[in-house]
Structure formats: structure tokens, C-alpha cells
Amino acid sequence: MRQIKIKAESVEAIADLDDSPTADAIWEALPISGQANTWGDEIYFEVPVFLNPSADAREVVAVGELGYWPPGHALCIFFGRTPASRGDEPRAASAVNVFGRLVGDATVFRQVRSGETVFIERIV
């Protein structure tokens, strides 16, 4: 299993990547960093990965899932409701390629503010 470390100014977390072409592309691009944007209980930032939506891309995701948003070439971290949510489920602005899941409590990302730098690296 492949794992990554996600760090921001006040938060550090580990995530497991699945076995998908999206996870492969993200893994190959590491290490990467970006400026966090917040959208409800979601953080997203542009990454140097350019993919189309996968066959199983979806808007409704689970708390803790990681997604790649093709229209914005962005990595998304979901940890609660977004402005597009209906009820309590996290919902992306449009379909994302889900490629991994945070280990532990995803809500720690509520501490990350827009504009903070987020670093992602491989755990080998």
C-alpha cells in the first residue's frame, strides 16, 4: 500500500492511496505543494497533474476521501459539508476521481486556512 504525508502550517496527516490511474499519477508527481483554497469543509489546490474524469468519478464523497478534480487540475481533501452538500455528505462542485483516504480524523483540516501552503510527499 502506498501512503502519503499531507502537511499544512498547523496540520499533518497520513493518507492511503488506492490502486487507480489517478493515484498513480498523483504518486508520480510527488512531492508537490500548493496554496490551499477552502470551500466549506473541503480544501483544494492545483497540482501538476492533468487527467480526465475516471469512469467512476462522483460528486458525493465520504469524509476523509481524497479526490482529483479534473476541471481545476486540483487535489481535494474532503472533511465535511461543502456549499454543494445536500444533508451531511461532502459533495464536490462536480465529479472527482477519488484516489485515497485519510488515516484518522479528517476534521483536523478545519484548522487549515485559505492561502496556507500544503505539502504532499511520499512515505517510503
Ordered domains of the chain (ranges, CATH): 2-123 (2.40.100.20)
Confidence band (pLDDT; 50, 70, 90) for 117? very high
Q: Check residue 10 and give its pLDDT.
A: 85
pTM (2 d.p.): 0.96
Share of the chain above pLDDT 90, in %: 98
- Distance (Å, rounded) from C-alpha 97 to C-alpha 111? 25
Q: Check residue 124 and give its pLDDT.
A: 83
- Distance (Å, rounded) from C-alpha 34 to C-alpha 76? 11
Each residue's pLDDT tens digit, 88-107:
999 999 999 999 999 999 99
What cell was used for 20?
A: 487507480
